[in-house]
Homo-oligomer: A and B are copies of this chain.
Amino acid sequence: MFIIRSMKLSDGIEWGIHVTTLLAVLPPEGALPAARLAEFHGVPAAYLAKHLQALSRAGILASIHGPRGGYRLAKPATEITVLDVVEAIDGTEPAFRCNEIRRRGPTAQPAAAYPLPCGIHRVMVSADLVWRASLRSVTVADLVTTVANDGDPAGLVAGAKWIRDALA
Contact = CB atoms under 8 A, between A and B. Distances in A.
Given A18-B101, A40-B107, A127-B131, A90 B120 contact: no
- Give the number of copies in the complex: 2
A32 interface: no
Interface string A122-134: 1110111011011
Contacts of A119: 142-143, 146-147, 149-150
A66 B23 CA distance: 63
Contact of A4 (B13, B90, B131): B90
Given A18-B101, A123-B138, A130-B131, A158 B109 contact: yes
A8 B120 contact: no
Contact of A95 (B6, B108, B147): B6
Contacts of A123: 82, 135, 138, 143
Classify the secondary structure of A's interface with B: helix
Q: How large is the interface on A (under 10, 10 to 19, 20 to 34, 35 or more residues)?
A: 35 or more
B15 A101 contact: yes
Contacts of A82: 123-124
Contacts of A40: 105-107
Closest CB pairs A-B (n = 10): A42-B104, A119-B146, A113-B152, A127-B134, A6-B91, A4-B91, A42-B105, A131-B131, A6-B93, A107-B158
Interface of A: 1, 3-15, 17-18, 21, 39-43, 50-51, 53-54, 82, 89-99, 101-102, 104-109, 113-115, 118-120, 122-124, 126-128, 130-131, 133-135, 138, 142-143, 146-147, 149-152, 154-155, 158-159, 162
